[in-house]
Amino acid sequence: MSTLIPCIIAGGAGARLWPVSREATPKPFMRLPDGDSLLQKTFARAAALKDVERLLTVTNREVFFRTLDDYRPLNQTRIELDFILEPFGRNTAPAIAAAALHVSQRYGADAQLLILPADHLIKDVAAFVAAVDNARPLAEQGRLVTFGLVPTHAETGFGYIEKGQALNDHSFQVRRFIEKPDAATAQRYVEGGQHLWNGGMFCMRADVILQELREFVPQVLSAVEHCLERSYRKEGPHELQVELESDSFAQAPDISIDYAVMERSKKVAVVPCQLGWSDIGSWQAVRELIPADEQGNQCTGETVLHEVSNCYIDSRQRLVGAVGLDNLIIVDTPDALLIADGKRSQDVKLIAQELKRLGHDAYRLHRTVNRPWGAYTVLEEGPRFKIKRIEVKPGASLSLQMHHHRSEHWIVVSGMARVINGEDELLLDTNESTFIKPGRPHQLSNPGVIDLVMIEVQSGEYLGEDDIVRFNDLYGRAPITPGTR
Amino acid sequence: MSTLIPCIIAGGAGARLWPVSREATPKPFMRLPDGDSLLQKTFARAAALKDVERLLTVTNREVFFRTLDDYRPLNQTRIELDFILEPFGRNTAPAIAAAALHVSQRYGADAQLLILPADHLIKDVAAFVAAVDNARPLAEQGRLVTFGLVPTHAETGFGYIEKGQALNDHSFQVRRFIEKPDAATAQRYVEGGQHLWNGGMFCMRADVILQELREFVPQVLSAVEHCLERSYRKEGPHELQVELESDSFAQAPDISIDYAVMERSKKVAVVPCQLGWSDIGSWQAVRELIPADEQGNQCTGETVLHEVSNCYIDSRQRLVGAVGLDNLIIVDTPDALLIADGKRSQDVKLIAQELKRLGHDAYRLHRTVNRPWGAYTVLEEGPRFKIKRIEVKPGASLSLQMHHHRSEHWIVVSGMARVINGEDELLLDTNESTFIKPGRPHQLSNPGVIDLVMIEVQSGEYLGEDDIVRFNDLYGRAPITPGTR
């Protein structure tokens, strides 16, 4: 059998899971109750397959370092990591075209791609492994193999796949793909046994999907081919990054792989499977993962409830007192609170869309902002001051930088810091502090083996994140540029 | 006419207005949309009366400095302030007994008391002044005059007063006091025109109420007399404080003035009045003060709403996104969030009671804690560190103190600080910082004329508020004691 390359495709922002999922921390990074992210679950699932030596991830370049951070603790077997880094989302057809071109060029035209969305959940990993085992020989024969999830209820939020003639004991031709049905139709599908959910997972040879893309959407393939030629490559000992060039990637039509190829190709097959699958598409889907108490409530964090039933309450930092509520979804984060009728969990995306339209920070960012070197959290802002907690990973450094208008007081509360402050270089231990004057080039790094946690008090007349001059940057960001550190 | 002494009586915690009203910041301190507190409104109302030269306040000793802070900007005419400071609440009969004894001893047995609850709202101050003018001659004649509010709706949450024979054009004898009625009875009362709300305001001569207390509840009067003899008095140029002694005050029965005297005395009269009165007894009552938008929503702070109607949303620091809600009360504070069915606003007290039972901080304290010298706010706590914003009023000082286990970093972000740090004394300007080692006696004061705002980062193994040794204290607190600053 030819080589199998799992391709994790990280797509949309998960607007229906606002305020936890946001543009800069999209749905794949959402943590489940066991502490793992959806992305980590997806990686672990791919790593559980036989003979996986390399794995390709197609994701936004903004989340590259976070993706590495999520993979690192799971990658004990040292799977080689390839990344295709998108400047912006362009739907699944261009992403899969780029993946197929990359795999074909690098691992052979007959290498198989296993397309895995980064933000779905599969509870039964053994069943998943078995389904992939069933799909691979079909892919080898030149089929575009979809995984059809046996419906557990009359869901109106998914597309369906209608089975055709049996190909063998565990696979079928596909009669047709069907868009989201109405409730009555969905009910008939569940009862009829001929329809399966389309979960967006595929197994196929690189040359086969490329051929179909060329036939049905040649402009997608040619735009992505052109883009890949112009893209920046960076190869490390265990990682390869392909950073897609923006202008040429923007030429690729925004179209899904279903619409571009699957609904038209004669080569599509489906492997029905029961995987304990969920797309975690809304807070309602998140609820289904968590046991409820006798009143039907699902609470994380501190609550005092009086005559409250069937409510989902997630508030990790703030006490919630509630009186006389039924079937509400309440999700509290440090800067934004969601309260929604449980029956309306799909409409949460309307709030996220409105925030996007307004250009509101709460659409894009969390109070805690992840950076290649760690993270920072704005604790408080006021006239002439801003207080941040800064966490720097062991061995990591911020850029050498300078601010014109603000001074910074740094107090180490955990770990050890190495500080360059103008001409001086010093080590600050826990409970020590220093002071950076405006105009003074400075750099912070963590020379230790545990996280450095520091409180920074900025003061000055102007405290915008754009008052920064960067002199160097370990993470390949622009050498001198306005931007956040 | 004899002297009139308005007596502002600050009572219960306002548990139905949790999480804004809490034990240490009770309902009189709650701010109205115009920025004034209910207590300030009450003071201004008393000051609007003719010939008021002194005003007595009966309140908890814990809120004495905050009460002074609230009065100060309003007391342009330099009304002399007497305070009776309770160690704990003991209902209205002991409070009014103490007020009457104090007024009688100090301003004459025939001086009149005008009892004003500290946490009600009266919109029509001119009508209030007129009602007091009507009450005073009756009080002079030896009546216990109540103010009966003409009902505007069939309220089941108040007691009622039934009018008896007319005494003159604008006053009546009282046939009886009636406990909170059911809805049908309340409706009859409104339509019948013979019943008035009992708002807890009274006008009466000190000697008359003392005589009635002696007749009906002699044990209340004797316990309070004994307590006053043992109490600590402190007289300043414009203020007199009587701090009630705990053990003897605890001997006074916990009983309301209505139950102790008003429902039994033959001397009671009532002056009907229309004052635009509200007891602000629940979030529903707060709602009635604020205009609603076209959807019936009343929002303070940033909101993004989709199909939300008739909701009260008060969230000053956090964005609220809401979907598909009707008639909810949502009140967000830095550490606690209330979400209640609008029809159940009375039941909010059950949440507060449960928090009290649990000994939870969110019953007693806000994230911002007021002190005689200003206030502090815990911004963040973590292992081995705690960050506070400290505000010190112009001219104020904290005690000279020392901590065994923690060091403190101080950064001035606004104003000017005078710091004693061991042997050293220094001035810190905005944007300057200093460091206090464990074991070092230190003192912080504000020598300037604007507020000093400082960020304090504490670090150390133990950061409890009880790691403090106080060497002096300007505010008469124990010289060396565990406690909060």
User: Which residues of chain B does CATH 3.90.550.10 include?
Assistant: 4-278
- Between CA B140 and CA B150, with CA B144 as vertex, the angle to 5 degrees is 110
Residue written as tokens 């897609």? A244
Flag whether residue B325 sits within 8 Å of chain A, measured between CB atoms: yes
Whether omega for the bond prior to residue A94 falls within 30 degrees of 0, making it cis, is: no
* pLDDT for position B216: 97
Beta bridge partners of B470: B401
Q: Which of chain A's residues have a Cβ under 8 Å away from the Cβ of B435? A: 433
Considering only CA atoms, which of A81, A82, A94, A92 is closest in space to residue A116?
Answer: A92
Contact B138, B119 (CB under 8 A): no
* A162-219 pLDDT, tens digit each: 999 999 999 999 999 999 999 999 999 999 999 999 999 999 999 999 999 999 999 9
* Cross-chain Cβ contact A336/B324 below 8 Å: no
* A42-77 pLDDT, tens digit each: 999 999 999 899 999 999 998 999 999 999 999 988
**Phi, psi dihedral angles at B446 (to 5 degrees):** -110, 100
In a 3-state reduction of DSSP, which class is residue B97?
helix
Q: Residue A19: is it exposed, middle or buried by C-beta count within 10 angstroms (0-12/13-18/19+)?
A: buried
Separation between Cα atoms, residue A20 and residue A285, nearest integer Å = 14
* Cross-chain Cβ contact A340/B354 below 8 Å: no
What DSSP letter does each residue of B25-85 carry, written as one string? B-GGGPBPTTS-BHHHHHHHHHHTSTT--EEEEEEEGGGHHHHHHHHGGG-TT--EEEEEE
* A358-395 pLDDT, tens digit each: 999 888 888 888 888 999 998 888 878 899 999 999 99
* pLDDT for position B474: 65
Q: Which of chain B's residues have a Cβ under 8 Å away from the Cβ of A364? A: none
Strands (E), B191-341: 195-205, 232-235, 239-243, 268-273, 277-278, 298-306, 312-323, 328-332, 336-341
Taking only residues 64 to 83 of chain B, the set having a beta carbon closer than 8 angstroms to any beta carbon of chain A reads none
* Token couple for B51: 């010939």
DSSP B465: T
Whether omega for the bond prior to residue A291 falls within 30 degrees of 0, making it cis, is: no
pLDDT band at A476 (very low <50, low <70, confident <90, very high): low
Considering only CA atoms, which of B71, B66, B26 is closest in space to residue B374?
Answer: B66
pLDDT band at A480 (very low <50, low <70, confident <90, very high): very low
Contact B380, B367 (CB under 8 A): no
* Cross-chain Cβ contact B340/A362 below 8 Å: no
pLDDT at A483 over 80: no
* A213-255 pLDDT, tens digit each: 999 999 999 999 999 999 999 998 889 999 999 999 999 999 9
Q: Using CA coordinates, name the residue in chain A closest to B335.
A: A318
* pLDDT for position B449: 94
pLDDT band at A474 (very low <50, low <70, confident <90, very high): low
Contact A275, A128 (CB under 8 A): yes
CA distances from A248 to A46, A62, A197 (A): 31, 18, 34
Option in B338, B343, B379 nearest A380 (CB): B379
pLDDT band at A445 (very low <50, low <70, confident <90, very high): very high
pLDDT at A481 over 70: no
Average pLDDT over residues A139-156: 95
DSSP B343: G
Give the residues of chain B that fall short of pLDDT 70.
473-485
Separation between Cα atoms, residue A117 and residue A122, nearest integer Å = 11
A 10 A CB-CB count for B391 gives 20
* Complex ipTM tops 0.90: no
CA distances from A254 to A93, A100, A249, B432 (A): 8, 17, 10, 54
Separation between Cα atoms, residue B130 and residue B275, nearest integer Å = 10
Residue written as tokens 């007024």? B103
pLDDT at A410 over 90: yes
Flag whether residue A296 sits within 8 Å of chain B, measured between CB atoms: no
Taking the CA of residue A374 and the nearest CA in chain B, the distance in Å comes to: 18
User: Which residues of chain A does CATH 2.60.120.10 include?
Assistant: 368-470
Q: Residue B378: is it exposed, middle or buried by C-beta count within 10 angstroms (0-12/13-18/19+)?
A: middle
A 10 A CB-CB count for A483 gives 10
Taking only residues 365 to 384 of chain B, the set having a beta carbon closer than 8 angstroms to any beta carbon of chain A reads 379-380, 382-384
pLDDT band at A453 (very low <50, low <70, confident <90, very high): very high
* Token couple for A92: 């699944």
| Kind and range of the H or E run holding A215 | helix A206-216
What DSSP letter does each residue of A180-205 carry, written as one string? PP-HHHHHHHHHHS-EEEEEEEEEEE
Q: What CATH topology corresponds to A4-278?
A: Spore Coat Polysaccharide Biosynthesis Protein SpsA; Chain A (3.90.550)
Task: Please give the CATH number for the structural domain made up of B368-470.
Answer: 2.60.120.10
Name the range with the highest mean pLDDT among A73-77, A304-308, A363-367, A431-435: A304-308
Task: Choose the mutation target among A389, A431, A452 for the interface with B, i.e. most B CBs under 10 Å.
Answer: A431
Which residues, other chains included, contact B272 with Cβ-Cβ below 8 Å and sequence gap of 6+? B148, B149, B150, B163, B170, B171, B172, B196
Q: Using CA coordinates, name the residue in chain B closest to A437.
A: B431
* Cross-chain Cβ contact B459/A431 below 8 Å: yes
Q: Are strands A433-436 and A406-414 parallel, antiparallel or unpaired?
A: antiparallel
What DSSP letter does each residue of A371-430 carry, written as one string? ETTEEEEEEEEETTEEEEEEEE-TT-BPPPEE-SSEEEEEEEEES-EEEEETTEEEEE-T
**Neighbouring C-alpha atoms within 13 Å toward the C-beta of A422:** 8
Flag whether residue B437 sits within 8 Å of chain A, measured between CB atoms: no
Flag whether residue A109 sits within 8 Å of chain B, measured between CB atoms: no
Contact A287, A330 (CB under 8 A): no
* pLDDT for position A367: 87
